[in-house]
């Protein structure tokens, strides 16, 4: 990730207003009109009390009614403008939030697999939801409030100096004091909000982890342990919020209950002295006190703006930290009309990080097109890793992998994965219907093709027995299906995809023996004329493989057919027996 300058960050922030410039212009215009109208009403009151009521005018009642009507008109103008900028501003903020969330999610799904290995799902969800919600609030309220507060302070000061210079100076003295007081709390609030964001991310991660593993929790009577874990994370978040509230309370109290009343008292005392000296009248003092409210109110709201700014700043920084991450390389763009399925590993070194040992070291292997190859060995020797390298979920530290002679780095990533089908032991099913999950393999497939694939995987019978058949909602991660049903549905999905290269990673582990026998026949039919890699601990399922490769920590230990390896009475023979 590269570091953005403040200027680039600010320009990036402003760029999200670009599609909504006309609406945003009218929002700011209405905010400006609202402020100007608010400043005009005390002038009208001053005109009535200082001019109309003092002058001996026979039409005094008409003038008062006229000014009253004029102020009512101003109030309705303020009402309309306030409604417009509040409604339209919030809609603009929501649209920007939508755009940010779409952009972030689109970027996330293209990040490499190692990124997700090191991230907690709950923390990522917090970035996509809470961070962007707070950011949207600032996109709406930030410019609008700045316009309102700035114009209120500036307009009030201008009018105050027009009314009485000396008294205006008395009021203006408190403005830098209020700004200095706000600056004293700025750093503390910034630190407190940063910690709060971290704690809510940790709490969400704990919550997501617990809810996702609820069956395991219940099976191991882990409810009490999970309650303790969540309470600890929740307490951390509570403590961070308590720090924020304590700091805000100290700020608000000093601003609202000390500095603001001091301004009023100072203006009232000084004004009374000038009235006693006949250099100020009561009408001016009344108007002056009203404008002091317009001067101090924005200062009191600075804490709210600081909060919004910190929320937005933290959210936008976290947003950019994700957006600045390099997505998966899309490859060189090379494709082929027909993938035959020749796979070659050449001198592959691979580890899951610098702090981890090498899973593969100087590994080489050639697989012919249409060949069925089984990978056998104890856990941790690299069987699943090899399959993950073929799909480019991970990239080797050194060496090269080729398919049909084309290096994977030069092949289009989407084309590569389009031509590989993977069935894993714990294959993921999405919330939705059976049909939705089947069509994930081929969105353009017809219903007849879906049913045909399900029949091949021996899944059709249990599917039509479901309450709504293929339109049955199977729940989050397919929780309404048994383990065997989920596995058969995943296999059926791969049947529908029908790619030239197949990877079966413990694909029938969740099936009973009878169902496994039927599905095994289907897998063999599916793998005809296709390059197939099988990872299996149940060695009876790979007897018919063209080639069985026995892996150990040292690399390839044995290669041969089932009969050949059994005759050698080596590692494979021991594993089989």
Choosing from 295, 323, 351, the residue where a domain stops is 323
Find the DSSP H helices in 350-482. Answer: 383-390, 413-418, 434-439, 447-456, 460-464
| pLDDT on residue 336 | 73
| pLDDT on residue 74 | 93
Do 550 and 516 sit in the same domain of this protein?
yes
| pLDDT on residue 4 | 56
The total of structural domains in the chain comes to: 2
Do 206 and 254 sit in the same domain of this protein?
yes
How far is the CA of 87 from the CAs of 74, 83, 298, in angstroms? Answer: 20, 6, 21
Q: What is the dihedral of CA 146, 152, 154, 158, to 10 degrees?
A: 170
| pLDDT on residue 84 | 92
Do 360 and 494 sit in the same domain of this protein?
yes
Find the DSSP H helices in 332-446. Answer: 383-390, 413-418, 434-439
Q: Per DSSP, what are the bridge partners of residue 423? A: 504
Pick from 131, 513, 170: which is nearest to 321 by CA? 131
Do 357 and 259 sit in the same domain of this protein?
no
DSSP three-state, residue 465:
coil
Burial grade of 474 (CB within 10 A; 0-12, 13-18, 19 or more) = buried
> Residue 361 belongs to what domain range?
343-429+481-576
Do 158 and 306 sit in the same domain of this protein?
yes
Q: What is the dihedral of CA 354, 358, 359, 364, to 10 degrees?
A: 120
Pick from 506, 542, 545, 499: which is nearest to 371 by CA? 545
457 within a domain of the structure (yes/no): no
Distance CA 242, CA 192 (A): 9
328 within a domain of the structure (yes/no): no
- Torsions phi, psi for 502 (to 5 deg): -120, 140
295 within a domain of the structure (yes/no): yes
**DSSP classification of residue 131:** I
pLDDT 10s digits, 223-263: 888 889 899 989 999 998 898 888 888 888 888 888 888 88
**DSSP classification of residue 57:** -
Contact predicate 172/90, CB 8 Å: no
Strand positions, DSSP E, 140-194: none
Do 60 and 165 sit in the same domain of this protein?
yes
**DSSP classification of residue 546:** S
Residue 283 CA, chain-centre distance (Å), reads: 56
Do 316 and 352 sit in the same domain of this protein?
no
Do 119 and 252 sit in the same domain of this protein?
yes
Do 183 and 223 sit in the same domain of this protein?
yes
Residue 52 CA, chain-centre distance (Å), reads: 61
- Torsions phi, psi for 94 (to 5 deg): -65, -40
447 within a domain of the structure (yes/no): no
| pLDDT on residue 1 | 35
330 within a domain of the structure (yes/no): no
Contact predicate 349/358, CB 8 Å: yes
Pick from 384, 400, 468: which is nearest to 432 by CA? 468
Contact predicate 144/26, CB 8 Å: no
Distance CA 565, CA 266 (A): 99
Distance CA 52, CA 389 (A): 87
Per-residue pLDDT of the chain (577 residues; tens, 9 = 90+): 334 566 778 888 888 999 999 999 999 999 899 989 988 988 888 888 878 777 667 778 888 899 899 999 999 999 999 999 889 988 998 899 899 989 988 888 888 888 887 777 777 887 888 788 888 888 888 888 888 888 888 888 898 898 889 888 988 888 888 888 888 887 787 788 778 878 887 887 788 778 777 777 877 788 888 889 899 989 999 998 898 888 888 888 888 888 888 888 998 898 888 888 878 888 888 888 888 888 888 877 776 777 777 778 878 888 888 888 888 877 677 777 788 889 998 998 988 877 778 888 888 888 899 888 988 888 878 888 888 898 888 889 899 999 988 888 888 888 888 888 888 777 788 888 999 999 988 889 999 999 999 998 888 989 999 999 999 998 877 888 887 788 888 888 888 988 899 888 877 766 677 777 777 777 777 777 889 898 877 777 788 888 988 888 888 888 888 888 888 888 888 887 7
CATH number of the domain residue 542 falls in: 3.40.50.300
Distance CA 245, CA 251 (A): 10
461 within a domain of the structure (yes/no): no
Do 310 and 170 sit in the same domain of this protein?
yes
245 within a domain of the structure (yes/no): yes
The pTM of the full predicted model, rounded to 2 decimals, is 0.75
Contact predicate 169/55, CB 8 Å: no
The per-residue b/e assignment along 334-371, b for 16 or more CB within 10 angstroms, e otherwise, is eeeeebbbbbbbbebebbeeeeeeebbbebebebebbb
Contact predicate 421/497, CB 8 Å: yes
168 within a domain of the structure (yes/no): yes
| pLDDT on residue 188 | 81
Pick from 107, 104, 86: which is nearest to 96 by CA? 104
């Amino acid at each position: 990730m590269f570091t953005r300058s403040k200027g680039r960050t600010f320009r990036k922030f402003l760029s999200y207003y670009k599609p909504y410039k006309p609406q945003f212009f009218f929002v700011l215009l209405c905010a400006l009109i609202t402020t100007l109208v608010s400043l005009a009403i005390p002038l009208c009151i001053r005109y009535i009390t200082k001019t109309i009521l003092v002058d001996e005018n026979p039409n005094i009642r008409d003038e008062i009614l006229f000014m009253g009507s004029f102020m009512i008109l101003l109030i309705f103008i303020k009402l309309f403008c306030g409604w417009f900028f509040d409604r339209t501003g919030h809609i603009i903020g929501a649209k920007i939030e939508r755009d940010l969330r779409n952009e972030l999610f689109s970027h996330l799904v293209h990040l490499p697999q190692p990124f997700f290995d090191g991230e907690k799902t709950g923390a990522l969800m917090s970035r996509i939801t809470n961070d962007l919600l707070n950011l949207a609030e600032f996109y709406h309220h930030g410019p609008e409030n700045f316009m309102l507060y700035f114009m209120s302070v500036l307009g009030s000061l201008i009018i105050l100096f027009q009314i009485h210079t000396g008294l205006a100076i008395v009021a203006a003295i408190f403005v830098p004091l209020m700004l200095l007081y706000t600056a004293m709390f700025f750093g503390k609030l910034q630190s407190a909000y940063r910690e709060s964001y971290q704690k809510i991310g940790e709490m969400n991660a704990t919550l997501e982890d617990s809810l996702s593993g609820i069956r395991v929790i219940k099976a191991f009577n882990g409810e009490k342990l999970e309650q303790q874990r969540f309470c600890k994370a929740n307490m951390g978040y509570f403590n961070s919020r308590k720090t924020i509230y304590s700091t805000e309370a100290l700020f608000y109290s000093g601003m609202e209950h000390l500095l603001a009343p001091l301004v009023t008292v100072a203006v009232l005392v000084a004004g009374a002295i000038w009235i006693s000296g006949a250099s100020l009248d009561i009408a001016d003092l009344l108007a002056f006190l009203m404008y002091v409210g317009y001067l101090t109110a924005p200062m009191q709201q600075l804490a709210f703006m600081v909060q919004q700014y910190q929320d937005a700043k933290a959210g936008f920084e976290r947003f950019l930290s994700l957006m600045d991450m390099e997505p998966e390389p899309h490859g060189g763009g090379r494709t082929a009309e027909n993938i035959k399925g020749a796979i070659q590993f050449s001198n592959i070194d691979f580890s899951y990080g610098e702090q981890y040992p090498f899973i593969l070291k100087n590994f080489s292997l050639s697989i012919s097109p249409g060949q069925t190859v089984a990978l056998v060995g104890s856990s941790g020797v690299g069987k699943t890793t090899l399959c993950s390298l073929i799909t480019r979920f991970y990239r080797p530290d050194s060496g090269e992998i080729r398919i049909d002679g084309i290096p994977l780095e030069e092949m289009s990533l989407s084309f590569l994965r389009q031509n590989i089908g993977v069935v894993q032991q714990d294959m993921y099913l999405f919330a939705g219907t059976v049909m939705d999950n089947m069509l994930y393999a081929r969105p353009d497939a017809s219903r007849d093709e879906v049913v045909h694939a399900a029949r091949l995987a021996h899944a059709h019978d249990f599917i039509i027995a479901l309450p709504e058949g293929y339109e049955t909602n199977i729940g989050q991660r397919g929780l309404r299906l048994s383990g065997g049903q989920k596995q058969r549905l995943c296999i059926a999905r791969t049947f529908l995809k029908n790619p030239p290269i197949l990877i079966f990673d413990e694909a029938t582990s969740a099936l009973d023996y009878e169902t496994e026998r039927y599905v095994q026949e289907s897998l063999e039919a599916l793998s005809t004329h296709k390059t197939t890699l099988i990872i299996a601990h149940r060695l009876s399922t790979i007897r018919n493989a063209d080639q069985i490769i026995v892996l150990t920590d040292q690399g390839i230990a044995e290669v041969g057919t089932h009969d050949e390896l059994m005759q050698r009475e080596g590692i494979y023979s021991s594993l089989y027996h």
